[in-house]
């Protein structure tokens, strides 16, 4: 989380050189993506592989979805980017690349994590084996506690577009099921009919940076922001796009949130892929923004409801139903 802006020229390549040096040529495949990843919110360059594995389903692995037609359930949260605990957001996980935080994510079954595609696709178009990634679940603290799981597959949305940052969604498959406890639970995700009202309260959660040049937070953070209307978000980023001649398209597959014309609260580097929560339901995934916590430009998140069908079908591919 961030309470002050990050650099507007921020890219996702810092901190990755030592990790990448251990990779051999056989770990990479060229894909047709040749653009930088400006304003995404991951820590290190990471990549992806598209794989499918068929597994036997269990009742606990049926996706939990909500469309907000049910009574409101109070959502415990810390306002203003304060420390929180994993027990309050037990589906929140750390995605590690070469043992270092690269992104966050939300556990949606005992073996699947919902996150963003840009966490795994590099700016140069290369992808890397999932064996370089692990997932830490069940810990309030960065880099310690909980349990760490190996990754068997990463599925990126087939229409993910790097330069436009559209369809920024992916599913990570773990090599074995997590153990559910009070600190490890499945998230309830938005159904395709779910709509977050404009100005509705939402909470972003993660271990990302809490200051401009500082390190990641060592303790899980939660910050309350508010949904910005599609029209307002589109207009502001369209102005930016015209001013600097760089693409910042806001689509209906995105949801914007912040504190307009005030700023100071937002997701930032290290928070990519982490959940945006409304009434206890994961409605967004931290995706991109112009710097961090800017008053005029809200944070942009992948809208989970838009991809509910894709999420369900992708998870089902891993099971014999």
Tell me how far CA of residue 162 lies from CA of 82, 90, 287, in angstroms.
32, 30, 11
- pLDDT for 122 equals 74
Measured CA to CA, the distance from residue 146 to residue 112 in angstroms comes to 17
- pLDDT for 211 equals 58
Q: Report residue 4: phi and psi, to 5°.
A: -155, 155
301: nearest Cα among 41, 33, 66, 106: 41
- pLDDT for 319 equals 76
- pLDDT for 96 equals 95
104: nearest Cα among 145, 153, 139: 139
What are the DSSP E strand ranges found in 126-195?
126-127, 133-137, 147-156, 170-174, 188-190
**pTM for this one?**
0.77
- pLDDT for 294 equals 72
- Our measurement of the distance from residue 243's CA atom to the centroid of its chain's CA atoms, rounded to an integer in Å, reads 28
CA angle 49, 112, 2 (to 5 degrees): 85
- pLDDT for 52 equals 26
- Bridge pairing between strands 170-174 and 188-190: unpaired
Residues lower than pLDDT 70 in the chain: 1-63, 66-81, 123, 125-126, 210-214, 261, 263-270, 291-293, 320-321
- pLDDT for 85 equals 96
Write down the catalytic residue from 129, 272, 286, 287. 272
- pLDDT for 136 equals 98
Annotated catalytic residue 157: no
Q: What is the CATH number of domain 17-320?
A: 2.40.10.10
67-120 confidence digits (pLDDT tens): 653 333 222 222 346 889 999 999 999 999 999 999 999 999 999 999 999 999
If DSSP states are collapsed to H, E and C, what string results for the chain? Answer: CECCCCCCCCCCCCCCHHHHCCCCHHHCEECCCCCCCCCECCCCCCCCCCCCCCEECCHHHCCEEECCCCCCCCCCCCCCCEECCCCCCCCEEEEEECCEEEEEEEECCCCEEEECHHHCCCCCCEECCHHHEEEEECCCECCCCCEEEEEEEEEECCCCECCCCECCCEEEEECCCCCCECCECCCEEECCCCCCCCCCEEEEEECCECCCCCCECCECEEEEEEEECHHHHHHHHHHHHHHHCCCCCCCCCEEEEECCCCCCCECCCCCCCCEEEECCEEEEEEEECCCCCCCCCCEEEEEHHHHHHHHHHHHHCCEEC
Write down the catalytic residue from 118, 129, 266, 286. 118
- pLDDT for 129 equals 80
- Residue 145: enclosing H or E segment and its boundaries? none
Write down the catalytic residue from 3, 168, 266, 271. 168
- pLDDT for 79 equals 30
- pLDDT for 308 equals 97
- pLDDT for 93 equals 98
Annotated catalytic residue 112: no
């Amino acid at each position: 989380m961030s309470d002050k802006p990050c650099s507007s020229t921020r890219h996702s390549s810092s901190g990755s050189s030592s990790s990448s040096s251990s990779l051999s040529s056989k770990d990479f495949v060229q894909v047709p993506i040749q653009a930088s990843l400006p304003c995404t919110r991951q820590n290190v360059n990471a990549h992806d592989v598209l794989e499918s594995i068929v597994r036997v389903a269990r009742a606990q692995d049926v996706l939990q979805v909500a469309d907000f037609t049910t009574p409101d359930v109070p959502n415990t949260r810390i306002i203003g980017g304060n420390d929180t605990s994993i027990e309050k957001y037990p589906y929140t996980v750390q995605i590690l690349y070469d043992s270092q935080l690269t992104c966050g994510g939300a556990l949606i079954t005992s073996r699947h994590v919902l996150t963003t595609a840009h966490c795994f696709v590099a700016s140069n178009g290369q992808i890397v084996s999932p064996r370089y990634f692990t997932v830490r679940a069940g810990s309030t603290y960065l880099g310690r506690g909980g349990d760490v799981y190996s990754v068997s597959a990463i599925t990126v949305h087939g229409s993910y577009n790097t330069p436009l940052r559209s369809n920024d969604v992916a599913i990570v498959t773990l090599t074995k099921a997590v153990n559910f406890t009070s600190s490890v639970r499945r998230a309830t995700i938005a159904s395709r009919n779910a709509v977050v009202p404009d100005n509705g309260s939402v909470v972003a959660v993660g271990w990302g940076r809490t200051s401009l040049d500082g390190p990641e937070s060592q303790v899980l953070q939660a910050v309350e922001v508010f949904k910005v209307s599609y029209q307002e978000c589109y207009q502001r980023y369209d102005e930016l796009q015209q001013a600097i001649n760089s693409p910042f398209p806001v689509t209906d597959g995105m949801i914007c949130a912040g504190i307009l014309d005030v700023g100071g609260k937002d997701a930032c580097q290290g928070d990519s892929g982490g959940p945006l929560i409304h009434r206890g339901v994961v409605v967004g995934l931290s995706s991109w923004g112009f710097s961090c916590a800017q008053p005029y430009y809200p944070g942009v998140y992948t809208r989970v409801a838009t991809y509910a069908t894709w999420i369900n079908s992708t998870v089902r591919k891993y099971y014999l139903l």
